[in-house]
Amino acid sequence: MANQLFDLTGRTAAVIGAGSGIGEAVAIGIARQGARVICLDVNEAAARAVAARAAGEAGGSDAAPLDIRDGAAVDRVFDGLDGQYGGVDIAICTPSINVRKPILKYTDEELSRVLDVNIKGNFNVLRAAGRVMTARKKGSIVLFSSVRSQVVEPGQGAYAATKAGIVQLARAAAAEFGPHGVRVNAIGPGVIETPLTAPIKANPDWYNAYADKTIFKRWGKPEELVGAAVFLASDAASYVTGSIIFVDGGWLAADGRFTPPGM
């Protein structure tokens, strides 16, 4: 019975950002649960390489290029998948960008880059996926937020604001799409080893400081996000919507860094 709850056999999943990092891990993990996975990424070659790896799983796979900043392109992709596969059951959107700079040093162009991907891009996916799913009265949409939706540090202002915004977009969409049988949730990773965090990993002091913020004293791996994504995509989460699941190694749970004597 438990295995059936997480079984995605017969479902079509669009995984955006599938070409690398968390998106790649999630695409492979969803395929292993039996779903047909459509790997979408601005880097088409990378998306096709991941799709080839997923092709041997039960549900099969395909790939296509997609820049989520282009609303018309997002609409075309989801309309096409809806027509080709008779519906999109799962949509998972992982891409984001970060420009780490103090607010006073941010340029208009840098702010637009962050907002265009993290807010406008996720909005475009919500709107396109929500339109085709609500019409068919079923579906699960999963967005990716961050621990930065809750806590922040210098140089993370714009990024943190967008990650908090993604949570509110998911909640609003959950309220709007829910009466039509569509669930919307978010995942909040902590510090994960991905191309986005490569500049931090290259700095030992910075890397270790982030590791020490977690209870496990280490960074997470992209594969450790798969369980949360499969859960939210599956029938195991049939009564879960408008929620965020943090996968952060305890980053948000442990506030103090000093252990009192005798503990």
Report d(CA 167, CA 144) in Å as an integer. Answer: 8
State CA 216 to chain mean position distance.
22
Task: Give 110's contacts (C-beta < 8 A, 6+ positions apart).
Answer: 99, 101, 158
Q: Which residues are registered as beta bridge partners of 189?
A: 247
Q: 80 in the Ramachandran plot: left (φ > 0), alpha (ψ -120 to 50) or beta? A: alpha
* Catalytic member of 106, 159, 207, 239: 159
Compute the Cα dihedral for 71, 181, 18, 213 and give only its sign.
positive
Q: Which residues are registered as beta bridge partners of 38?
A: 14, 62
Give the chain's largest Cα–Cα span.
Answer: 64
Compute the Cα dihedral for 198, 243, 114, 39 and give only its sign.
positive
- Active-site residue 239, yes or no? no
Catalytic residues: 159
